[in-house]
Structure 1
Amino acid sequence: MPKSLASGTRRRLRSLSAVSATTLALCLLPQAGYAVQQPVRTPDCTVVPPANELDESPARCVSAKMSIDRVPAVGESATVSVALNAQVEIEQAGFTVRLPKGLRITSEGFSAPRQRGLDTVATRTVALGKGERTLTFTVTADVAGTAQIQADVSDLSAPAVERSAHATREITVGASAATSKGRVDGSRSTARRTDGSLVPQRRAARSAAVPGKICATGELTYATYDGAWHPGRRVAVSVVGRATPDAAPTTVATGLTSATDGGYSLCFAHSGEPMAALWVRFSTRTSWWEVTEMTGQDPYVVEVAPVTGVPGGSTQDFGTTSPDALHMPAFDAFDVINDVYTMRGSGNQCWTREETIDCSRLKARWAPGNTNGGYYSTDAAVRAVFLTDEMPDARHPVVHEAGHNLQHLLYNWYWPRGDCPSPHSLHRVTGAMCAWTEGFANAVAGYAMGDGRYYYNVTDWMDLLQTGFQDTTQAPSRTNPDNGDDVEARVAGAMIALWRDLDGGPGRTLDNLDRYPSDSFEEWFTVDRAKSGLAVSRRSRDIVYRYTIDYREGKRRESVRNGGLEDQGAGWSWTGGAVGNFGLARSGRYSAWMGGNGVANEDILSQTVKVPAKGTSVLEFYLRINSQEPTTAKPDSLQLQLVTGNGPTTVYTWYNTDRVPSYAHRVIDVSRFAGQTVTLRFVSTEDQGEQTDFLLDDLALTTS
């Protein structure tokens, strides 16, 4: 119900109920060895909003769109234009052009092309002012085949994902103009050597093998964004052959590439006349996980050119082969999920202990040039990860989203109650459910990748293993995250530390989640963790406390009177009728409702307390923010001030843009006021416009 104000105006009550989430987003924005993390302040970006309502990736301040004046045939050239639009000034922007071998840049002003996997990369530095600008370059086609032209822009001095842009165009270069196309078709490619050349068809070798059998051997490899080559692990591999030139292809042997070196050796019985042809086929779909094109129907497949005239009793070595450059990221995304698979705690080959055969799959969808990604869909008809074109380059986003899929599967397709605000950030308070589900996915990424980080793209990352309370004299940032178990990064850091320092890895946690579907980190640590024999001892509580999550046992002094507001606000002073029974309390009946007017107004809630001279003192409370204001401006705010004899100190400010649809636990270290009598004062300010509701409940000032 609305509540009366002294001015006689009435609040416009809007629904504050949580909405069930159907998607889990990549909501983060820093692969080891690319750049040193640097804090950066960026304005509210609006140039590139999320691609659709499911995608909660951060908006960007720079956009890039690519066009080409023609699709070149072999021997022809084309001009590529990249239209840029920037909301910020970037004095030194790196402009990188990435081309597959067989397509080369022929414009001046770029660095000499450098080989990177099956691609070549050329760069130049440009200055970007606010507004629009078009950069052009010329490419020449030397070889027929599919090609992806990619261009990336990044701020060299502050490599934040918001200050970057990615553009791409996929074409098919033909032998003539008539066979060239402005698109690429299908998810199949022909295998290449690591020098980029196609594997040619050849006559079979007559090397000795087991009599009455034919064996196929070789290795699958792929290159990552930085050009490093890696084994293609646990990829589905089939041996396919024709008995006669006119016979239909038949699969004669199946298996997986090695989990260590990507090698394979598959044999099958054969006697009599030599087989007309034999070849090897790799696929990104296995019984445990898959990477498909965007419809989810077809995996990515690469075939090695056949050998012919294959006699029985021979071994055919297909050598080291790879996918083509266009589909390389699909195999990269597939391979990195191996690191999630090795974490499982099921005790069998499936992801859960209940499944021993017919394992459920983790599912990811990716395609060259795709912009619809950065989330996991919990929809029963889909249950798949969606990846944008560039996400496999950073690798961590793939593992993060696979972590969502894994948690959903471990929970037998149950998802915790609550919602994640859109957008939400790794370093900010979001709420118990959001911090738990996103924090778990971040922990999976940071642990599986071995660096304790989260990479938004190849240059922009956040350290998940930061410890210590937030410095409230500085603005919240990736290097100064919010405190407590409602913050994704804090939950992730605490989980990684437990896995590394106490639990012997994540396997027992995953088995625990399989048995007990916790709704929050607090429930998992304080209730469900011990059910599997995982330690909840003083040492484990001290570990999570390093990440500002305080579940320590022991006496704590309480300094706030009537922190739950249930004594009808006794002990508190306020203006604007802030404390009342509005039906919106986190616990009990009473809460403080500040703001919510939609007109110029100020509400104040305060209480004078003594901060003990010794110990660590923290102010804890639960805050819920709902707003009808647009996300591009910050007209409404809530300040937390501590008033001493020297005047007020603003220790934190929340805005309408910090929406949290359910109560979030806030923890503010106030130890710097030790020994002083201070007035805790919350001040909400609204302008003449849309309303913003700031709801407070369960406040405490504790010292331990």
Structure 2
Amino acid sequence: MPRRRRRPSAMAAALALALLFPAGAACARKPAADPACLAGVLKFEHRDAEAGPEKPWATETASAADWELWSGTSQLATGRTDADGTFVACGGESSYADMRLRFPSASGDLSEVVTDRTKRARHTFDSATVTDVVGRRDVGVVEVPKKMASAWHIIDTLGLLYAKRAGTSSCWTRQCERLTVVWGPAPSDDAGYFDQGGTDAVILAGDMPDSEHVVLHEAGHWFQWELYGHWLPEADNCQVHFVESRSSPTCAWVEGFPDALAAYTLGDRRFVHEDGNAVAIDPDASWDTGDAVQGRVAGALLDLWAGPDGGTWDATIALMSHERSSTFDEYFAVDRPTADPPLSTTGEAAEVVEEWGL
């Protein structure tokens, strides 16, 4: 029979309270009814490669960017900016002698930009300190220092991809891992790729973040790797590759999917280099032919998603989370029919593949 719980004696109860709250310990205080807060909007400037080779300066609000609220050496609260870059950061007391905001280059558990491959320190800066804060104090616009603003441009761009991913999960994929980008302002020849098997981070440098297509393309490698459960096919003849040129069927798949991902996320049909020059995903007589051309793979994916797949890539993303493909042909002819429900390979879908010469 079940045992009855004995009610503790008064002495036992007193002893338990003494262990929980030793002499001199203070009970947790309730937050003030009208706490002291700093409110404002976080913005950054960046060169806009998508606008063309002139790359004009553009000012953006930093959405879903982390903030920390500090007073002296004490961290009071953490949070993220809203979609319009605004924040209201509140402490637990009604007044503080000083308050300031600290902004690290991260967006919760989703993404971060770090300064190097080993230390993994985030780009970080503090706002001006505000003194004698009572109630809500509006600090206006907080600007990211120009020397590190590209880190926030990366975070903002990755937010566009996160909004496009299929599903409503708070994670990128079932792996539920953070996307890390290494970036520093100095140009480097050892950058512009996904470091699979090394840091498992996207490596960027210098002006590369000026192009959102470049950021999204490299993030697309990481995303495909995540969808495939930390696997990518061995890509032959892929050391140097171009949108319009022949490489190999495996290279065209692992490079064509990120090209399509960038175009799909940004709502266009091109790839924009960091210098502002663009290649339209629209073949002409100068393009190579066949399924070893990454631009043809990208274009076919975009047309499949826009047409027979119902105007979205959701079914392909769901398929990729369960089936690994090494080439576009394997994705189309072998894996699409096994999707649940199956994805079309006849009719309009077959016409798309034929039009793109695949």
Where does structure 1 lack aligned partners over 5 or more consecutive residues? 1-209, 243-248, 472-479, 550-704
Superposed, 1:25-36 pairs within 5 Å as none
Runs of 4+ residues deviating >4 angstroms: none
Q: Identify which of 490, 505, 518 aligns with 2:325.
A: 518
> How many Å apart are 1:293 and its aligned residue?
0.9
1:434 equivalent in alignment to 2:251: yes
Alignment partner, residue 340 of structure 2: 532
1:377 aligns with 2:195: yes
- 1:297-446 superposed matches below 5 A: 297-311=120-134, 314-352=135-173, 354-355=174-175, 359-371=176-188, 372-379=190-197, 381-446=198-263
The answer for the alignment partner of 1:485 in structure 2 is 291
> 5 Å matches for 1:182-193?
none
Measure the CA separation in 2 of the matches of 1:221 and 1:300.
15
| Residue type at the aligned position of 2:121 | D
Question: 2:315 & 2:86 partners in 1: Cα distance?
Answer: 30
Residue in structure 1 matching 2:70, options 218, 237, 240 = 240
Letter in 2 for 1:254: T
Shift of 1:389: 0.2
Given the two structures, how large is their TM-score scaled by the length of structure 1?
0.43
Cα gap change, 1:535/1:220 in structure 2, threshold over 3 Å: closer, same or farther? farther
2:99 and 2:130 in contact (8 A); partners too: yes
1:426 and 1:487 in contact (8 A); partners too:
yes
> Any unmatched runs of 5+ in structure 2?
1-31, 48-55
Question: Which amino acid in structure 2 is aligned with residue 233 of structure 1?
Answer: S
Residue 326 of structure 1 deviates from its aligned partner by 0.8
Please name the residue that 1:213 is paired with: 35
Bigger relative contact order (CA 8 A; separation at least 6)? 2
**Structure with the higher helix share, 1 or 2:** 2
Return the offset for 1:398.
1.0
The correspondence of residues 56-205 of structure 1 with structure 2, limited to 5 A, is none
Counterpart residue identity of residue 520, structure 1: T
Q: Is the 8 A contact 1:345 1:509 kept in 2?
A: no
The structure with the largest strand share of the pair is: 1
Q: Pick closer, same or farther for the CA change 1:236–1:429 going to 2, 3 Å.
A: same
1:269–1:449 distance in 2 versus 1, CA, 3 Å: same
Aligned residues of 1:277 and 1:307 also touching (Cα < 8 A): yes
8 Å contact kept, 1:344–1:511: no
Q: Give the total of aligned pairs.
A: 314
Aligned to 1:543: 352
The question of whether the paired residues in 2 share the 8 Å contact of 1:420 and 1:434 is answered with yes
Deviations 1:144-197 (A, max 9, x none): xxxxxxxxxxxxxxxxxxxxxxxxxxxxxxxxxxxxxxxxxxxxxxxxxxxxxx
Identical pairs, percent? 29
Are residues 1:276 and 2:97 paired? Answer: yes
TM-score by length of structure 2 reads: 0.82
**CA displacement at 1:538 relative to structure 2:** 0.9
| Structure of greater Rg | 1
Displacement after TM superposition at 1:442 (Å): 0.6
Distance 1:223 1:337 in 2: 16
Residue 341 of structure 1, CA deviation: 0.9
SS of aligned partner of 1:269: coil
3-state DSSP of counterpart to 1:280: strand
